[in-house]
Amino acid sequence: VRTWLAVVPALLLTLTHVSARVSPRGSDDAFPQAVQPFLADHCFGCHNTTKAKGGLDLKAFRTADPVAEAPDTWEKVAAKIRTGEMPPEDEERPDPAAAAAVSRWIDEHLARADAAAPADPGRVTTRRLNRAEYNNTVRDLLAVDLQPADEFPQDDSGYGFDNIGDVLSVPPLLAERYMVAAERVSRAAVFGTGQIKPTLVRCQPRARSIQPSPLVPARYDETGLAMPNAVHATRRLPAAGTYRVRVFTGGSRPAGSEPVRIALWIDGAKIAEQTLDPTAVASFTDDKQDFSGKVREFELSLSAGEHWIAASIPAIFEGLPASYGGPRPSALPEPPPPVFVPPADADPERIERRRKAFEAEHAAPVPANDARISYFEVAGPYDVAPGPSLETKQHLYACGHLSGGHTSTCPRTILRSLTRRAYRRPVTAGDLEPLLALFTSARAHGDSFDEALAAAVHAVLMSPDFLFRIERGGPAGAGAADADLLRLTDHELAARLSYFLWASMPDRRLRRLADEGRLGAAGVLDGEVRRMLQDPKAQALVQEFGGQWLQIRALESAAPDRDRFPAFDDYLRISMRRETELFFERIVREDRSILEFLDAPWTFVNERLALHYGIEGVRGPAFRPVALDGLPRAGVLTQASVLTVSSYATRTSPVLRGKWILENLLAAPPPPPPPGVPPLPDATATAPQSVRQQLEAHRANPTCASCHRRMDPLGFGLEHYDAIGAWRETDGNTPIDAAGALPDGRTFHDTAELRAILAGEREAFTKALGAKLLTWALGRGLESPDRRLVRSFARDLPRDGYRFSALVLAIVHSPAFQMRRGSPS
């Protein structure tokens, strides 16, 4: 067996059954002998000089090794032959052994060509900080967590991410917001956030249907969080301080109930509970206790940033009158049944009407679980600490005078330290003089020391050196044959690392290593990367990169039809997102294999998600790892978050899900539909035909078939999961058929078999994740030399057990990450 086979076991998996039977042609054979005859038989009919279908003329390649001339083209050719996408279905099928041998020949020559190619780091356009980076950088620079960039206009995305230098522009609106944000942040750093005025916001459920019942279920969520009568919201708080949460209730309980409790939850933990006794206030009816308009206020101290706030009625089926049969029935005497009192001075007819109305009203038993949280209000912050925090003072006052008493050299000391961190590089007199001049002028104008300092800090935050990540590179030609190639300085490398893994500025340790010129030293760089991946700030990688790669950011605006999916509420929405984040975090933190994204037999759930997935024995809102043995779920693909964002509001879409898999897991995005094609019948779940039948009819059209035979079957394999990711056996009245056949002839009967097939696509998945992560790390679209790097991930990662850090390190070690092309002036 040839050596290259040893390093590409992924390929082996799909090819061994072929190579066992035929002896492959020697890879030392030149192109005219090894490949051309196959192409002539199967490809030239369309891909010739005159037709050049899909813009590809394979006849034009005549040299002994054309792969080096157009590696990306041949990578695609090999992939299409290997997956059976080409030649198209209606053409004669090539001999599998011959096809395998040809794609293998191409792969091997690709590896050689890649190894021989000169380094080319490409060009990264100066990037401004995006919203998340701005928030995080300000937080780390001054320990001021105001999240000011939440008020910036949306960052445009390109290549699937919102950190692409070429795409991030600075419209006038953004510059205006910079001005406001920088002033707020600088004043908060010098004077504290005490100037923030308290605001009051009301948090209401989007839509819900509460169906009260007099029956007490055998099992229910005793925290109340998963009940439709709870209210969940996420709020981003501008500052740490005291907040008041006022919980408004509604609905009713039968007379004779014990008081109910109102629980307040912050980030999944119960913070406080208060009882609410409806008997304390008069009720309009005598067999019900009315909650409407009753309020409980909680005062609590909260940190700045995003919080998940929820109010619920725990143990709602407890304390009911004994006749309801709930657990822990009420000790209060059961009230006598209401008695009809005929109105005085009324004629018999009228009394009879009243009696009928009375009987009708009391005929149905009073629901046991009608009490609800209507909404809550969050007011604050109050009692914000008057000055800046100690941490902020330590960040800002490099002169060491944390409580005033500055000397004449302090402004320079303070601003030198601040700019070094804010500009992420050593600073010069030229950087400092304008700031000191500003400080002096402000003083001369009547500003206090603090006012003048705030103005100088404001100027630092408005400087392009802060807002943009400007890279110049080290001395030309250093360490490279190409005089145009520049190695990044250690400080620039530190910033690339920190924005890649933390979406924020370098920390003290990275800065020190860069100052000492040791960051690039052997062993140091790898150690730093590993340390950074363990740091809590690496959550940004999960939220920012992960949220866009897996597209779960779209959960935020997902609006599943409430009639079809009444189970979808904000608790479930929040839980879905959290599951996927925790899953990704664990892979990063424990440096697990990236292949677990495809088939990990574990995940994280809380009670709400456990209910959604049908997992027993999980209580409470806290997430915990669970094994998925015996459950039809594994990997990200069957997580409710992914299944929801790849569905329409009213129904599943095999096409969307197939496309999601091809784009995000297999690096084989289908081209967009050609213009003028008839619309997909995909959406008519209500029509008598099943979605599957319609899609199959659709694929009879050869124009559609070439892509849809790749997308649709993948989506069919997930049809057991509805549009919010719950398991189902039928769609309407049609039993689910989750079988499918891929273009290369492989078939599956259900999701598990489909997953097994996908789990075998290690090479494709490594390339898919690798290309996405590289795009994110570089902040630019990938070009031909980058494709080379992506191919090398697929070759090298098996050696490292596909560990997540191995992929990150492969990116960090690449010329694209460590070098830049000099700027033409």
Partner 1 sequence: MMLTGRCLPRRTFLKGVGAVISLPLLDAMTPALRAAAPAGPSRLAFTYVPNGVTMADWTPAGAGRAFDLPRILQPLAPFREQLLVVSGLSHQNANALGDGPGDHARAAACYLTGVHPRKTAGGDIQNGISVDQLAAAHWASETRLPSLELGCDDSRTVGNCDSGYSCAYTNSVSWRGPVTPMPPELNPRLVFERLFGAFDRDADPAVRARRLHDRRSVLDAVTGRARALSMDLGAHDRRKLDEYFTSIREIERRIDVAEHDTRDLPPGIEKPPGIPVGYADYVKVMFDLQVAAFQADQTRVVTMMLGREGSLRTYPEIGVPDPHHPLTHHGGKTDWIEKVTKINVLHMELFAYFLGRLRDTPEGDASLLDRVMLVYGSGISDGDRHAHDDLPVLLAGSGNGAWKGGRHLTFAPGTPMANLYLTLLDRVGVTPESIGDSTGKINQLTDM
Q: Shortest distance, CB of residue 668 to partner 1, whole angstroms? A: 15
Strands 231-237 and 372-382, how do they pair?
unpaired
Q: Does residue 17 belong to the site contacting partner 1 (CB under 8 A)?
A: no
Residues 88-127 that bind partner 1 (CB under 8 A): 123, 125-126
Region of residue 233 (phi > 0: left; psi between -120 and 50: alpha; otherwise: beta): beta
> Which one of residues 88, 96, 160, 387 is an interface residue with partner 1 (CB under 8 A)?
160
Residues 572-591 that bind partner 1 (CB under 8 A): 573-574, 577
Q: Shortest distance, CB of residue 771 to partner 1, whole angstroms? A: 14
Q: Based on CB atoms, which residue is closest to partner 1, 458 or 709?
A: 458
- Residues paired with residue 67 on neighbouring β-strands, in sequence order: none
Q: Based on CB atoms, which residue is closest to partner 1, 543 or 603?
A: 543
Q: Based on CB atoms, which residue is closest to partner 1, 320 or 778?
A: 778
Residues 415-434 that bind partner 1 (CB under 8 A): 430, 434
> Which one of residues 333, 337, 343, 446 is an interface residue with partner 1 (CB under 8 A)?
446
Q: Find the helix or strand (DSSP H, E) in which 114 lies.
A: helix 96-116
Site string for partner 1, 770-789 (x = CB under 8 A): ----------xx--------
Window of 4-12, 229-237, 395-403, 707-715 that interacts with partner 1 by CB under 8 A: 229-237
Window of 10-18, 137-145, 437-445, 474-482 that interacts with partner 1 by CB under 8 A: 437-445
Residue given tokens 């005089």 in the structure block? 483
Q: Shortest distance, CB of residue 5 to partner 1, whole angstroms? A: 36
Q: Does residue 561 belong to the site contacting partner 1 (CB under 8 A)?
A: yes
The CA distances from residue 630 to 583, 640, 656, 748, 752, in Å, are: 19, 17, 27, 19, 11
Q: Does residue 403 belong to the site contacting partner 1 (CB under 8 A)?
A: no
Give the whole-angstrom CA distance, residue 405 versus residue 500: 40
As given in the structure block, the two tokens for residue 541 are 């990688």
- How many Cα atoms within 13 Å fall on the side-chain side of residue 113? 23
Q: Report the Cα–Cα distance between both ends of the chain, in Å, rounded.
A: 52
| 194-227 residues labelled b (16+ CB within 10 A) or e (exposed) | eebeeeeeebebeebeeebebebeeeebbbbbbb
Residue given tokens 């209210």 in the structure block? 231
DSSP symbols for 19-35:
HTTSPPPPTTS-HHHHT
Q: Based on CB atoms, which residue is closest to partner 1, 396 or 529?
A: 396
Window of 24-32, 104-112, 495-503, 666-674 that interacts with partner 1 by CB under 8 A: 666-674
Q: What is the CA radius of gyration of the chain?
A: 32
> Which one of residues 674, 732, 745, 801 is an interface residue with partner 1 (CB under 8 A)?
674
Q: Shortest distance, CB of residue 272 to partner 1, whole angstroms? A: 19
SS3 593: strand
Q: Based on CB atoms, which residue is closest to partner 1, 91 or 151?
A: 151
Residues 348-367 that bind partner 1 (CB under 8 A): none
> Which one of residues 403, 557, 730, 733 is an interface residue with partner 1 (CB under 8 A)?
557
Q: Does residue 723 belong to the site contacting partner 1 (CB under 8 A)?
A: no
As given in the structure block, the two tokens for residue 162 are 């919102």
- Sequence-ordered alpha helix ranges (H) in 206-347: none
Q: Shortest distance, CB of residue 170 to partner 1, whole angstroms? A: 4
Q: Based on CB atoms, which residue is closest to partner 1, 61 or 549?
A: 549
Residue given tokens 């356009």 in the structure block? 125
> Which one of residues 562, 592, 728, 746 is an interface residue with partner 1 (CB under 8 A)?
562
Q: Shortest distance, CB of residue 588 to partner 1, whole angstroms? A: 21
Q: Based on CB atoms, which residue is closest to partner 1, 97 or 705?
A: 705
Give the whole-angstrom CA distance, residue 134 versus residue 424: 14
Q: Classify residue 566 as exposed, middle or buried by CB count within 10 Å of its CB (0-12, 13-18, 19+).
A: middle
| 577-603 residues labelled b (16+ CB within 10 A) or e (exposed) | bbbbbbbbbbbbbebbbbbbbbbbeeb
Q: Shortest distance, CB of residue 265 to partner 1, whole angstroms? A: 13
- Residues paired with residue 297 on neighbouring β-strands, in sequence order: 246
Q: Shortest distance, CB of residue 182 to partner 1, whole angstroms? A: 8
Q: Shortest distance, CB of residue 419 to partner 1, whole angstroms? A: 12
Is there a contact between 373 and 569 (Cβ–Cβ < 8 Å)? no
> Which one of residues 63, 285, 784, 823 is an interface residue with partner 1 (CB under 8 A)?
823
Q: Shortest distance, CB of residue 38 to partner 1, whole angstroms? A: 30
Site string for partner 1, 54-73 (x = CB under 8 A): --------------------
Q: Shortest distance, CB of residue 427 to partner 1, whole angstroms? A: 12
Give the whole-angstrom CA distance, residue 435 versus residue 441: 10
Q: Shortest distance, CB of residue 66 to partner 1, whole angstroms? A: 27
Residues 124-153 that bind partner 1 (CB under 8 A): 125-126, 128, 150-151, 153
Q: Based on CB atoms, which residue is closest to partner 1, 10 or 304?
A: 304
Residue 189: name the closest of 399, 387, 381 by CA: 387
Q: Does residue 295 belong to the site contacting partner 1 (CB under 8 A)?
A: no
Residue 9: name the closest of 811, 802, 807, 803 by CA: 802
Q: Shortest distance, CB of residue 143 to partner 1, whole angstroms? A: 21
Contacts of 180 (CB under 8 A, 6+ apart): 148, 151
Number of residues that bind partner 1 (CB under 8 A): 107
Q: Classify residue 333 as exposed, middle or buried by CB count within 10 Å of its CB (0-12, 13-18, 19+).
A: exposed
Give the whole-angstrom CA distance, residue 503 versus residue 136: 7
Residues 645-664 that bind partner 1 (CB under 8 A): 645, 648-650
Site string for partner 1, 163-192 (x = CB under 8 A): -xxxx-xxxxxxxx--xx-xx---------
Q: Shortest distance, CB of residue 69 to partner 1, whole angstroms? A: 25
Q: What is the dihedral of CA 627, 630, 635, 637, to 10 degrees?
A: -140
- Sequence-ordered alpha helix ranges (H) in 217-347: none
Q: Shortest distance, CB of residue 598 to partner 1, whole angstroms? A: 20
Q: Does residue 443 belong to the site contacting partner 1 (CB under 8 A)?
A: no
Q: Shortest distance, CB of residue 433 to partner 1, whole angstroms? A: 10
SS3 215: coil
> Which one of residues 42, 104, 139, 232 is an interface residue with partner 1 (CB under 8 A)?
232
Site string for partner 1, 465-504 (x = CB under 8 A): x-xx-x-x--------------------------------
Q: Classify residue 455 as exposed, middle or buried by CB count within 10 Å of its CB (0-12, 13-18, 19+).
A: buried
Residues 604-633 that bind partner 1 (CB under 8 A): none
Q: Based on CB atoms, which residue is closest to partner 1, 55 or 630?
A: 55
Strands 602-605 and 485-487, how do they pair?
unpaired
> Which one of residues 54, 464, 479, 614 is an interface residue with partner 1 (CB under 8 A)?
464
| 503-526 residues labelled b (16+ CB within 10 A) or e (exposed) | bbbbbeebbebbeeeebbeeeebe
